[in-house]
Amino acid sequence: MAAAFHEFELIEWIQTRCPAPPHDLRSIGDDTAIVQPQAGRELLLATDMLMEGTHFTFPPATPELAGRKALAVNLSDIAAMAGEPHSALVSLALPRSRGAEFAKSVMQGLIDLAREFHVEVIGGDTNTWDGPLVINVAVMGMAPSLQSITRSNARDGDWIFVTGALGGSLASHHLTFTPRIREATLLRQMVSLHAMIDISDGLASDLQHITTESGVGAVIRSEQLPINACLSTELTEAERLQKALSDGEDFELLFTVSPEEGQKLLEQNPLSIPLTHLGEINSGQGAFLEQTDGSRVSLERSGWQHQL
């Protein structure tokens, strides 16, 4: 039987492991956290819920990796806006049978990633039940006013870029990916980002979020897709392409810039990860894939979508 303990003890344990917040911020242990906004900075707010059996399973996940992923997917949303993460609220539905050490391990994985990205865990809610683990994180970020990068500002002629490699997340990196916070900041400092999104549903689906929200069309070229080298060599080329287009949870950044800025990025990639020019935004409608023979196929929303 796993060791039982009480909610208040878990909260105290979490408090001891979360670095004291700066003076302007009241944290865990009151009805709400208090944050003093900074002049000239916008607030970015996002939330994601992860459920055992859907977003992770034990194994291959460990409790630490489940906690880590719950924060990482939220940081990826802040990265997609080119923001700087600030603080997080963490809610847990803990399986009663797994006891106290399990709960601490989940929080430890989350807190370790929070430290790496200077995020304060400023509040939350702990519960137990007989169901599986559910973790919800709500994250707050900040960005200089009017410098958040939305999905809706892609322009005719823009070049489309993606960071890193695509496909095969579930088999390789969905528990361990690095949210592209630093990369988004470096990109914003070097070029004028027009539209940006993180790839959570899959490239095909997320590109269509940009085209729909921006009222534009897009063409990307199959031969330029940075297909993840970790994909099984037993797959056919068509299967690998399909995975790079539609596997979810790559959490890479998909963005558009002017051709001039795009040229600059190709000549001098400021990141320590690959940066790939996939195609262009046009004034049409819909997103298309140009195949090696020059033919174009519509990119249906083939990304991961929850069937209710």
User: Is 77 labelled a binding residue?
Assistant: yes
- Tell whether residue 17 is a contact of a second copy (CB under 8 A): no
Rounded distance, CA 169 to CA 176, Å? 10
Give, in order, the Cα–Cα distances in Å from 16 to each of 13, 19, 113, 121, 282.
5, 7, 16, 11, 53
**Residue 128: CB minimum distance to a second copy, A:** 5
Helix (H, G, I), strand (E, B) or coil at 198: strand
> Which x/- pattern, by CB under 8 A, does the window 223-242 give for a second copy?
--------------------
User: Is 125 labelled a binding residue?
Assistant: yes
Rounded distance, CA 230 to CA 243, Å? 12
Rounded distance, CA 233 to CA 257, Å? 34
Q: Which residues, numbered 184-223, are part of the site for a second copy (CB under 8 A)?
A: 196-198, 213
**Residue 265: CB minimum distance to a second copy, A:** 21
Torsion of CA 170, 50, 48, 67, to 10 degrees: -90
**Residue 86: CB minimum distance to a second copy, A:** 10
C-beta closer to a second copy: residue 26 or 264: 26
**Residue 56: CB minimum distance to a second copy, A:** 12
C-beta closer to a second copy: residue 99 or 157: 99
Q: State residue 185 phi and psi, 5-degree precision.
A: -65, -45
C-beta closer to a second copy: residue 58 or 290: 58
Q: Which residues, numbered 143-182, are part of the site for a second copy (CB under 8 A)?
A: 145, 148, 150-152
Q: Give the count of residues interacting with a second copy (CB under 8 A).
A: 77
Helix (H, G, I), strand (E, B) or coil at 124: strand
**Residue 68: CB minimum distance to a second copy, A:** 18
User: Is 304 labelled a binding residue?
Assistant: yes
Q: Which residues, numbered 273-302, are part of the site for a second copy (CB under 8 A)?
A: 301
Rounded distance, CA 33 to CA 256, Å? 36
- Answer whether 138's CB lies under 8 Å from 121's CB: no
Give, in order, the Cα–Cα distances in Å from 159 to each of 260, 262, 285, 294.
9, 6, 16, 18
C-beta closer to a second copy: residue 11 or 273: 11
Binds a second copy by CB under 8 A, chosen from 131, 215, 259, 274: 131
**DSSP track, 212-237:** HHHT-EEEEEGGG--B-TTS-TTS-H
User: Is 31 labelled a binding residue?
Assistant: yes
> Taking the CA atoms of the chain, what radius of gyration do you get in angstroms?
20
Binds a second copy by CB under 8 A, chosen from 31, 234, 267, 293: 31
User: Is 47 labelled a binding residue?
Assistant: yes
For 242, counting Cβ atoms within 10 Å of its Cβ (0-12 exposed, 13-18 middle, 19+ buried), the class is middle
> Which x/- pattern, by CB under 8 A, does the window 82-111 give for a second copy?
-x---x-xxxxxx-x--xx--x--------
Residues that constitute the known binding site = 31, 47-48, 55, 77, 124-125, 151, 198, 200-201, 249, 304
Residues that constitute the known binding site for Mg(2+) = 31, 47-48, 77, 125, 198, 201
